[in-house]
Amino acid sequence: MPWLLVVVAGVLETGFAVCLKLSHGFTRLWPTIAFCAFALGSFGLLTLGLKRLEVGPAYAVWTGIGAAGTAIYGMFFLGDVVSTLKLISITLVIVGVIGLQLSGGVH
């Protein structure tokens, strides 16, 4: 259950990063409100997950999902440039997070 909380928190991190861009420096109301909701949800769920998980692997999963998810969302929906190097880099982030998870202790 704690890992599910961290995974959902990572997806919400993607949401708050995208909304941060869409808020245009907090000048647009609805993306700013969505950013606040996603950020509170993300940090809240991460906090709950960290009660039972090691901080290193949990934080890596949270940030990895957020970083990869935001980059992928940007390429699909925001017109971000798609390049081979970017796709390889996203893959390396995911592989690194999996490696950290596999090398860490389990509670």
What is the rounded average pLDDT of the residues 77-104?
91
pTM: 0.89
pLDDT band at 103 (very low <50, low <70, confident <90, very high): confident
3-state secondary structure of 22: helix
pLDDT band at 100 (very low <50, low <70, confident <90, very high): confident
Domain spans of the chain, in order of start:
2-103
Q: Which residues contact 63 (CB under 8 A, 6 or more apart)?
A: 10, 13
What is the rounded average pLDDT of the residues 35-44?
98
Structure-block tokens of residue 77 = 């929906």
Picking from 65, 26, 24, 74, the residue whose alpha carbon sits closest to that of residue 42 is: 65
Distance from C-alpha of 6 to C-alpha of 13, rounded to nearest angstrom: 10
Mean pLDDT rounded to a whole number for the chain = 94
| pLDDT tens string 9-28 | 999 999 999 999 999 999 99
Distance from C-alpha of 93 to C-alpha of 76, rounded to nearest angstrom: 18
